Structure 1
Amino acid sequence: MSNYTYDYIIKYIIIGDTGVGKSCLLLQFTDKRFQPAHDLTIGVEFGARFVDVEGKKIKLQIWDTAGQESFRSITRSYYRGAAGALLVYDITRRETFDHLLIWLDDARQHSNSNTTIMLIGNKSDLESKRAVSYAEGEAFARQHGLFFMETSAKTAENVEDAYVDTAKDIYEKIKQGVFDVTNEANGIKRGMHLQPGNTIPLDPSSGSNNCCNTG
């Protein structure tokens, strides 16, 4: 066994309106599965998974937040200490796209200025019901300095890339010294190193038990 469990832990947060598929994106990434019906997220859900970035073992700790206005104060407390954020809208529901600026302003007000934000247009499998074009999502991301990707939590299209590409950008910032990795308030924690001959089992990746009513 290697003499470390991971090189870094990185904290993510998933934000956006209710019903855009945030819990599905978490479940597809952590458990490789999709569930077509779910109860609304109450407060936050949690999941974790290891990914490899440039040969480094990185544990992503992902907090899936409730989209309802009544939970917004709880959600805001999770912005602090998040190195990465997935900002999600539903390509079949124009209002979820129209609300992006509210979510983005909230995120930038309450999170680290260096937080990497990936804009996600979810439910790309529902092309026949599309209400927001790819070009519109791409333009919003370009205007606000975000990464952009369309995904389907149902088919898993681009779900892996959404998380891993965000991790790659965060790791690049670590290498450049943008993030102070000695300060866990930045959402990054150095790895747990072991002495040769000693072993500690890897933390089991845990997925959200929450599921989704749509892709």
Structure 2
Amino acid sequence: MSSEKQIINDHSRMRAIFIGEYGVGKTSLMKSLKDDSYQADIHFSSDYYTPSKVVERNGLKINVLMWDTYEQERFKSLGKIYFRGTHITFIIYDKTNKESFDAIPEWIHTADERCGPEIIKILIGMKVDDKEHEVITYDQGKAIADQFNIPFLELSSQQPSEINVIEFAVDRALEKHIEGEHVTYTPYVPHWYDCAC
């Protein structure tokens, strides 16, 4: 059995989080990802939801749970529990907002500190369709991604992307595992998941 099949068989769930400054488009991106050709399972619990997307590889399935910050970044109150058990971190900035771009190194540091430097990190510049108000170019985004040696994408929540972002992230995670970088896949569901309180 290949390394890829073994890792999927043993751990069929991945946790992906979306981080970045307030208002950069994290929630909109999540909604656009769950609304494409894949059917997302939405888990409701009081005031939040967690969409998930199934990615198939070699006939096997990985269920990717997507977690938003639920505006906690406004209060600098993202606790360790939010990062616990994470496999994939999407670091989001707004191409029309320089402050959100300048905050990228801090968010990368936070992801490394809370999840470990081996965590899959993908940088995404949002609002690529808003050329009139753009202040951050593609080259600037690519340069900082190269500086931290992480993949880089530009997207719009209003327009379909040629790249399936979740599949891209899962493939990168599997690639790192096969390359021997020892990404650890430990299924994790917070104690307040599906809480009825």
What's the TM-score bracket when you normalise by the shorter of the two chains? 0.7 to 0.9
- Note the residue ranges of structure 1 that are not aligned, 5 or more in a row: 1-5, 34-42, 188-215
Structure 2: gaps spanning 5 or more residues: 1-7, 38-46, 190-197
Q: From the superposition, tell whether residues 67 and 154 of structure 1 become closer, same or farther in structure 2 (CA, over 3 Å).
A: farther
Match of 2:178 in 1: 175
Which gives a bigger RCO, structure 1 or 2 (Cα 8 Å, sep 6+)?
Answer: 1
The two structures have a TM-score, normalised by structure 2, of 0.76
Partner of 1:161: 164
CA 1:22–1:107: 2 relative to 1, 3 Å: same
TM-score (norm 1): 0.70
User: In angstroms, what is the RMSD of aligned CA positions?
Assistant: 2.4
Contact 1:10 1:59 in 2 (8 A): yes
Q: 1:17 is matched with which residue: 21, 29, 41?
A: 21
Cα distance between partner residues in 2 of 1:20 and 1:145: 22
> 1:21 deviation in Å?
0.6
User: Aligned pair in 2 of structure 1 residues 133, 71: CA closer, same or farther (>3 Å)?
Assistant: same
Distance 1:85 1:78 in 2: 11
- Asked if structure 1 preserves the Cα contact closer than 8 Å seen for 2:13 and 2:65, the reply is yes
Identical-pair percentage: 25
SS at match of 1:72: coil
- After superposition, what is the alpha-carbon deviation per residue over 1:150-198, rounded to whole angstroms, capped at 9, x for unaligned? 001111325x5322111101122333451344x446x9xxxxxxxxxxx
Q: 1:19 to 1:49 in 2, by over 3 A?
A: same
Partners in 2 of 1:83 and 1:112 — Cα distance? 10
Q: Distance in 2 between matches of 1:108 and 1:139?
A: 19
2:85 aligns with: 81
1:131 alignment counterpart = 135
Residue in 2 aligned with 1:90? 94
Question: What does 1:1-215 correspond to in 2, within 5 Å?
Answer: 7=9, 8-32=12-36, 45-65=49-69, 66=71, 68-74=73-79, 76-158=80-162, 160-177=163-180, 178-181=182-185, 183-184=186-187
User: Offset of 1:58 from its aligned partner?
Assistant: 1.4
- For residues 177 and 60 of structure 2, the distance between their equivalents in structure 1, rounded to whole angstroms, comes to 12
Say which SS state the counterpart of residue 13 (structure 1) adopts: strand
Change in Cα spacing, 1:149 to 1:12, as seen in structure 2 (3 Å) is: same
Q: Which runs of 4+ in 1 moved over 4 A?
A: none
Matches of 1:67 and 1:18, distance apart in 2 = 8
Distance 1:139 1:25 in 2: 22
Residues 25-47 of structure 1, C-alpha deviation per residue, up to 9 Å, x if partnerless? Answer: 111111239xxxxxxxxx96521
